[in-house]
Chains A and B, each alone.
Chain A
Amino acid sequence: METSLVLKIAYAALSLFIAFNYGILLGATTYRIRARVQGRLGIRLYQPYLDIIKNNAKRTSISHGIMFYLGPIFRITGGVGTFLFIPMIYGSVVFSNFSFAGDVLLVLYFIFFGQLGMALGAGEGGHPYSAIGVSRGLAQMTAFEVPFTLAIIALAVQHNTLSITEIIAAQQGGILNWSLFTNPAATAAALIAFLGMNMGNPFSVVTAPQEIPIGPPVEYHSNYLGLLQTNRSIFNSAKLILFMNLFFGGATNLIVMIIKTFLIYMITVIIGVAFPRFRVEQSIRFFLVVPTLIGLVGLVIALW
């Protein structure tokens, strides 16, 4: 194996390690912020680490078939896959990951790959709550894909590239070069889709505990749940870094990355604490109308 490839793998592993820990701390911070809004203290920052260790240490004697085991594997593959094709720090050799000319398309695919795998796995579990969660999740995913894809197409047209690195490069030179300012409609459409992708309020019916299912995780416990929690941390970081790269000018060092992604994430947190949740058909109707129209405007801006 070439030395450069070994180095690239080592760098990617380092990026993954940082993204995992950042995702965990971000999640814990979010819990604490939500708790403060509710008038509580919230969890300690290290609590998610204990949860993951505890869940991974457990074993199960229940079997629901091979696909059930593969569900969380697909999920974490989707999360890690998404992350590994997104450059974490613009211009850095260490944190560039495996980005290449058409990585936007691959990342788009990986974002939805995990959820599809989970759907197959949870469906195999046979629990009716899982089936309801899966159908809600897939229906909502199909809906928010539309504005998200429109926003990505708008950026690809605007910058004439399908490379994330080149899209970041096009935004350098000043804050007004960010896609947020050059194409605010595409940014808005993508951010609304991001709310759906994160499954926070008002688009949290997929995993709503009160409204019958708590989604596919109802059947996943012990080390399956540990895998899903690990993936949640990595996938969260990956999505935030992707949005930062596409719409907020990317980051040239880790501190800028942390500040930008934290602020992007706060959008979902603030909206999440201020709103109840839509029913799934209300979510679909919303995604296919408001952000889709905004996304189309973004496309027009890009073509103009």
Chain B
Amino acid sequence: MTNAPIIPLTDNHQAGRRVDLSSGKYLKLWQGPQHPGITGNMSLELTVSGDEIVDLRTHVGYLHRGFEKLMERRTYIQNFPIVCRICVPEPDFNEYLYAATVEELAGIRVPERANWLRNLTLEMARLASFLQWIGGQTGAFGMGVIGQWGITHRDYVLDLFEELSGGRIYHMYIIPGGVRGELPEGFEERARAVLDKVENLLGDIERAMFHNAVFKDRAKGLGVIPREMIDSYGITGPNARAAGVARDVRKDQPYLLYDQLDFDVVTASGSDTYDRAWVRFQEIHQSLSLIRQMLTRMPKSGPIHTQLPNPLHWKIPAGQTYRRAECTRGEYGYYLVSDGSGYPRRVYVRGPSYTHAVALMESMAVGANIADVAGLMVSFHTYPPEIER
């Protein structure tokens, strides 16, 4: 990342911080934490003048569970069921990154087939997460039909996760040393059937959403992120790619088997809500293709787990590492420090939602219409649970 200068608050934004509520020209509104237009457990404090937002402040803390601190008091293996809970809709990236950092410090080699299975679950998680997001994005503009379609098809993917891991939301499938279980018999056929269903759905969604005049009216030109903000705000993922920045950890620093798989980094140039939606929509297509490639090319047999030391007395050599992966929202990272004991000295989780839901949202909402707050927030695709670790 370049050392781009921090962009100062816009004039509008600074004016927003100076509003005089007693003047009667402004109204203070709270959106969330319980509100259908908010994405998860956070709230937005809006100062509006008529329908225009002059200031927005974000408030998090409603879901703080202290995971990072908790992990310092638990053994490495005890932390494994905790990490997935950091991001509810897409927990698998936490499992993978935690396992990868532990394996790197402990010098553990993961069997090849386990890497294929890990990669498969990460793409399935991406697909499920995007299907949930598309429901949120259209729902925020009042198009509940696509929301229901998306959630229904996400459930088909969750059915596959349930078969694979026993859990629909928290899978706890990727563990240090490999994965927890083999693919069930007939899984590949059932997975392909689900992919076909999702592909059919995408055709309907494209016609109903992206060719819809009202959706275009609402989404085009809304929340345009200037390209110069990308680095200074630490914006990653589809939010950056919609601004024309072809940045994707899967290509830039390939992990697992992404260097052996065929996919493109989708970009756009408009950087508005419509383009962000379009980039994510294309990434759903990419995800379907990646899952199909993996189902075809994955070794049909082989070990899926490395023998670990006794987990109750497992000490990891002192050291530190940072591993990252590309989740649906952008760059997800885990920083792990070991002091050589049986407990991590420090675990730090870098979730993209922290940047996108707080700094970016506060900046981009100023000047927008209050009816667009929900649509704008969903267009940044944020999951507040990962802000509060």
Contact = CB atoms under 8 A, between A and B. Distances in A.
Contacts of A204: 142
Interface string A268-304: 0000011111111110000000000000000000000
A274 B70 CA distance: 47
Contacts of B144: 34, 38
A178 to B, nearest CB: 29
A272 B144 CA distance: 10
B148 A276 contact: no
Contact of B36 (A128, A132, A209, A274): A209
Nearest to B216: A276
Interface stretch (B58-66, B116-124, B133-141, B157-165): B133-141
B51 A277 contact: no
A277 B141 CA distance: 6
B373 A211 contact: yes
A131 B37 CA distance: 18
Nearest to B152: A39
Contacts of A201: 142-143
B27 A210 contact: no
A43 interface: no
A207 to B, nearest CB: 10
B371 A208 contact: yes
Contacts of A39: 148-149, 152
B50 to A, nearest CB: 9
B384 to A, nearest CB: 16
A210 B139 contact: yes
Contacts of B218: 276-279, 282
Given A128-B27, A212-B31, A279 B148 contact: no
A128 B47 CA distance: 12
Given A276-B138, A276-B212, A209 B148 contact: no
A128 B217 contact: no
Contacts of A211: 37, 140, 142, 370-375
Contacts of A275: 143, 212, 214
B28 to A, nearest CB: 8
A82 to B, nearest CB: 27
B75 interface: no
A281 B374 CA distance: 17
Nearest to B140: A210
A37 interface: yes
Q: Which of B28, B148, B215, B371 has the most CB of A within 10 A?
A: B371
A205 interface: yes
Contact of A279 (B31, B208, B371): B371
A202 interface: yes
Interface string B151-173: 01000000000000000000000
A295 to B, nearest CB: 21
B88 interface: no
Which DSSP category, helix, strand, loop or mixed, fits chain B's interface?
A: helix
Q: Which of A129, A202, A209, A278 has the most CB of B within 10 A?
A: A202
B149 A38 contact: yes
Interface in A169-226: 201-202, 204-205, 208-212
Contact of B217 (A132, A208, A278): A278
A44 interface: no
A40 B218 CA distance: 27
A209 B371 CA distance: 10
Nearest to B222: A279
Nearest to A201: B142
B36 A210 contact: yes
Contacts of A282: 217-218
Given A276-B214, A278-B214, A281-B51, A212 B370 contact: yes
Contacts of B149: 38-39
Interface in B318-334: none
B139 A38 contact: no
Contacts of A38: 144-145, 147-149
A281 B149 CA distance: 29
B215 A276 contact: yes
Interface string B20-36: 00000001110100001
A212 B215 CA distance: 18
B152 A210 contact: no
Contacts of B363: none
Contacts of B31: 212
A128 B148 contact: no
Given A128-B27, A276-B214, A212 B143 contact: no
Nearest to A37: B145
Contacts of A208: 142, 371
A282 B217 CA distance: 8
Contacts of A277: 141-143, 214, 218
A39 B152 CA distance: 8
Nearest to A129: B29
B282 interface: no
Contact of A280 (B152, B214, B371): B371
Contacts of B51: 279-281
Q: Which of A40, A128, A276, A278 has the most CB of B within 10 A?
A: A276
The 10 closest A-B pairs by CB, nearest first: A38-B148, A277-B142, A276-B141, A276-B143, A211-B371, A210-B37, A210-B374, A209-B36, A276-B142, A279-B371
Interface of A: 34, 37-40, 128-129, 131-132, 201-202, 204-205, 208-212, 273-282
Given A210-B140, A276-B138, 5 more contacts: A38-B148, A40-B148, A128-B28, A201-B143, A210-B37
18 contacts: A38-B144, A39-B152, A128-B28, A201-B142, A208-B142, A208-B371, A210-B142, A211-B374, A212-B29, A212-B371, A274-B208, A276-B142, A276-B214, A276-B218, A278-B217, A279-B218, A280-B371, A281-B369
